[in-house]
Structure 1
């Protein structure tokens, strides 16, 4: 047993809890209406958890392309798990009646997929999520739906669509009657089910003018509804999405010492005030290869790589989106391989790490929406500041294979300050040269909370004392047990 490591880890945990509990949540009402305050956990209902056997229609867990049985009741059962991750919103994919497990081959926009459960069960899930302060988002596929969609069966709708090469159809969204039908379908859904967001997917040939009509109709139905997409678009979505973001962050964080010169590319326009909506920040999504695959291809240890990458996207300006299974280093190159059922038996400390990051982000308005300033981005060492009138944070990401040092000038944070490292339990004060010397191990990210220098850190000393008392008690108990034997 590594005693020093155990003590250090325990102290860090207690100190992190103490720091989180001492922070207050600011502007709660404002948070509920601005997507820049949210963080999204992206799941597929069918691949999350199977709770009810009553809705298992022709499931086949051995066939990666078939329904596996996940349902609304399964998500409802695992709300405590969602709490551990601490995301503010769960995106559930498409829930409409569909021929495929991912909900994309829609056959009827007016019905809920029976494999997922009933309309009543879906409403119960939404209600329970809201009771637990978790928002819910659903996908609405505009195109690339089933050739057996109910609209295609109506005689007067034969000229509403065109066939695709993969035996699906796209709607002729340049037709006013088709536009109105799609708008009615998604608005009726939002009116019936109290979701907090709609993600428009498979935009296909739909132009921005039509998409903006959809967005306007949805906002009229619910002014607080988030409307986003998972595709590049000039439409008036609440969040900017760039497909290139995934490639950018996979290339930077898949291995140590990678070129990170494009770190700011996804959110630079937002930070510079060129756009007024935040950017989606992610290391993979439901349509891409998993980040685990990228790091494994480099012969790196995926959990360590995931921690470093997730720490970056959760502390940089934008909206973090994390794909289900990231917390257990789920692998895969493309669907359906990337859509494996979530294995809740896998215990990985990524889960608690993400939960700690999320707790900090949720309780600090500065980490969510504060100002940003890059201080260092060289040879795998990334250092930036998040600051506001209320507080300051220094984020240091060591994406190298060696321990790194960074001298922080007092002109950045001021004199006579203390920097409390929340994961490595380090406290940094000015040295004899007046600098703040930050040191972190290889492949580690650290968040330093900047406070006034107050001498002895009472919470830390109490935490340290408690850990040593518990550890000594543990040793004594072992000795007594040994003597009895």
Structure 2
């Protein structure tokens, strides 16, 4: 008899703590987080194309290929990524692909056109997109144009930045060739767009023509890297530098990130690290701070301001090569840091769930020490983001929230209610962040309390009845 009573008590306890009310903010929408893959340094999916591979030589091919990318799509998707941006896979004689020898063929080091087609098909089956890196500012000395069509080429000694030959876009035939090449990859490989590497030497009308060609072929993505443009999305280089400076250590104010010269726009691609920058974890370690904590704070900012986040392979570890140089080692995607992965997955989920985090207007609200509060608002949806980058606990008092509203934390469970003086007080421990949804103040959860009263009342009645039967 006693065992039955204790079983009932246990069941009621379990029910009371598992009873939750789910609030659906909005139907999921695409928010297009991107993941950058350096193909040769990602995953070796097959040994068939392992020629000239030397793992001991950092400048040699290491065997990563399109088959390996295909095999790891689920890993990337689990992070919440909806687009992969892969490094140049055109015919090349260098592992990173930025010395192209043929703009219209897949390098045998990485696989074949069929491998690329299969990768794209697999990604589309997962509702993911694939965009290709497309270098416009340099090509290999071994490209056939260097010898056979010198009038189409700017020589290496005339291209001081890379000291490599480059296409001459003053020549109309060269422009036509690249327009046709863009169409070739869109049609033959069914890719979803391009990440163009450009500079100011490319005439505006030429760059606009390339971007227009991408858009005219369908709902495709065009990212322009290395120059300002009125067309397409742009990699926000200056914000990357400012984010690193702010988030690599505690005690630094976030205010510079919201200055007009640094603030992000909807068409910006936001990133902490890339193929050409130092690892963010390296910067944090050099500043004598925990890279996991620092990455989580930086990601929270990057996912909650205007623009589309792009993660460079290995950030989820987070990888640190211990050097002030770009990290082109093989990605250690089997050694991920759970805290970082969980933060990436949660932020991606929130961007899909709450349109204001993607398309809402941004307003900078409050600064207390190195703690900042800002708001994203889209129609009636209001979301407050609080990031405490300070070395101590901080409190921000918000006076701008009208009506009987409460703030519900979604990174960490928390409810901030209106005080007697009409303010809402956000308190965050050092080096933490939270995202708060503005909603009606529910006060006490009366439906839940009523449920408990009924359940416990029934239990007490049951105990009394059973006790009388046994006396």
Note whether the superposition's TM-score is higher than 0.5.
yes
> Equivalent residue of 1:24, what SS?
coil
> Equivalent residue of 1:263, what SS?
helix
Contact 2:239/2:257, CA 8 A, preserved across alignment: no
Q: TM-score, normalised by structure 2?
A: 0.84
The equivalent of 1:48 in structure 2 is 42
Give the alignment of 1:115-264 within 5 angstroms.
115-154=109-148, 156-157=149-150, 160-164=153-157, 168-203=164-199, 205-220=201-216, 222-233=217-228, 235-264=229-258
Give the alignment of 1:385-424 within 5 angstroms.
385-409=375-399, 412-424=400-412
The equivalent of 1:425 in structure 2 is 413
The structure-2 alpha-carbon separation of the partners of 1:299 and 1:334, relative to structure 1 and needing over 3 Å to count, comes to closer
> Equivalent residue of 1:355, what SS?
helix
Q: Are residue 327 (structure 1) and residue 323 (structure 2) matched?
A: no
Contact 1:25/1:365, CA 8 A, preserved across alignment: no
- 1:339-386: CA deviations, max 9, x gaps? 111113313120121111111112221110011111023531110011
Give the alignment of 1:263-282 within 5 angstroms.
263-265=257-259, 278-282=267-271
The structural deviation recorded for 1:454 is 2.0
Higher relative contact order (CA 8 A, sep 6+): 1
- 1:175-221: CA deviations, max 9, x gaps? 1122222222222122212111211114362121211122222223x
The structure-2 alpha-carbon separation of the partners of 1:458 and 1:42, relative to structure 1 and needing over 3 Å to count, comes to farther
The structure-2 alpha-carbon separation of the partners of 1:231 and 1:337, relative to structure 1 and needing over 3 Å to count, comes to closer
Q: Which consecutive residues of structure 2, in runs of 5 or more, have no partner in the other structure?
A: 1-17, 450-471
Distance 2:24 2:344 in 1: 19
> Equivalent residue of 1:122, what SS?
helix
Larger radius of gyration: 2
Contact 2:351/2:358, CA 8 A, preserved across alignment: yes
RMSD: 2.6
> Equivalent residue of 1:338, what SS?
coil
Which residue of the other structure, out of 59, 63, 88, is the alignment partner of 2:57?
Answer: 63
Distance 1:456 1:41 in 2: 43
> Equivalent residue of 2:87, what SS?
strand
Give the alignment of 1:19-98 within 5 angstroms.
22-25=24-27, 28=29, 31=30, 37-98=31-92
The structural deviation recorded for 1:434 is 2.7
Q: Are residue 440 (structure 1) and residue 440 (structure 2) matched?
A: no
The structure-2 alpha-carbon separation of the partners of 1:335 and 1:189, relative to structure 1 and needing over 3 Å to count, comes to farther
Distance 1:440 1:383 in 2: 11
> Equivalent residue of 2:256, what SS?
coil
> Equivalent residue of 2:117, what SS?
helix
Distance 2:436 2:446 in 1: 17
Distance 1:450 1:177 in 2: 57
Distance 1:448 1:247 in 2: 27
The structural deviation recorded for 1:398 is 0.3
The structure-2 alpha-carbon separation of the partners of 1:428 and 1:378, relative to structure 1 and needing over 3 Å to count, comes to closer
The structure-2 alpha-carbon separation of the partners of 1:176 and 1:358, relative to structure 1 and needing over 3 Å to count, comes to same
Distance 2:21 2:295 in 1: 25
Contact 2:100/2:140, CA 8 A, preserved across alignment: yes
Which residue of the other structure, out of 314, 320, 340, is the alignment partner of 1:350?
Answer: 340
- 1:60-100: CA deviations, max 9, x gaps? 22221111111122122112211221022111121111111
Q: TM-score, normalised by structure 1?
A: 0.82
The structural deviation recorded for 1:280 is 2.4
Contact 2:101/2:140, CA 8 A, preserved across alignment: yes
The equivalent of 2:439 in structure 1 is 451
The structural deviation recorded for 1:118 is 1.8
The equivalent of 2:13 in structure 1 is none
The equivalent of 1:470 in structure 2 is none
Distance 2:176 2:368 in 1: 52
Contact 1:41/1:89, CA 8 A, preserved across alignment: yes
The structural deviation recorded for 1:396 is 0.2
